[in-house]
Amino acid sequence: MKKLLIPVVTLLLIIQNNYLLSADYYETARKAARDSRWQDLYDLIDEGKIDVNYNPDRRNKAPFINTAIVYNDLKAAQELLNRGMELNTGTCRLPLQLASQRYLAKGDNMPMIKLLLEARANPNAEDYWGGTTLKLLDKFNYLPERKQELISLFNQQPPASKYIKSAKK
């Protein structure tokens, strides 16, 4: 029994230290993304210091790709997707929700929306609070031509059953 206990305790300490390590680097990574120092963020991800999908507080903090969407930085979004960024997990605001909201307000980021859809962003995926991109569109009654353009684009996508279903975390 004693021989088994030591490896288990060691494994638990390794897991705890990796989590703490990610938490330490998360703030650095978040600031790098916020300040458009993308290469610093990529380095942290590539060196294994932080996971591209790491998010300690899914209710209040958005994934790194949302910063790229806010800045309408297509190259940064593509780099994060290349590193395995998940698009359909339940965070405070899903990337497709944010990109759609920006399109409705500014009309300047259709390439970003198309990139997200090509990367399998699901308009029916639920955020942490149970909202979806399609539910978000229902709330917008102004600029109906932009809203209709998004709905038409979403309808051209494969059936929702082919998407990975998101779940509340």
Residue 60 has what pLDDT? 53
Which structure tokens are listed for 73?
Answer: 């930085």
Average pLDDT value over all residues in the chain: 79
pLDDT tens-digit profile of 97-156? 999 999 988 989 999 999 999 999 999 999 888 889 988 888 877 788 898 999 899 988
**Which residues 6+ apart lie within 8 Å of 123 measured at CB?**
96, 132, 133, 134, 154, 157, 160
The full set of domain ranges for the chain reads 1-51, 54-169
Top-level class of domain 54-169: mainly alpha
This prediction's pTM:
0.76
Contact criterion met (CB below 8 Å) for 108 and 72: yes
Count Cα atoms within 13 angstroms, Cβ side, for 18: 10
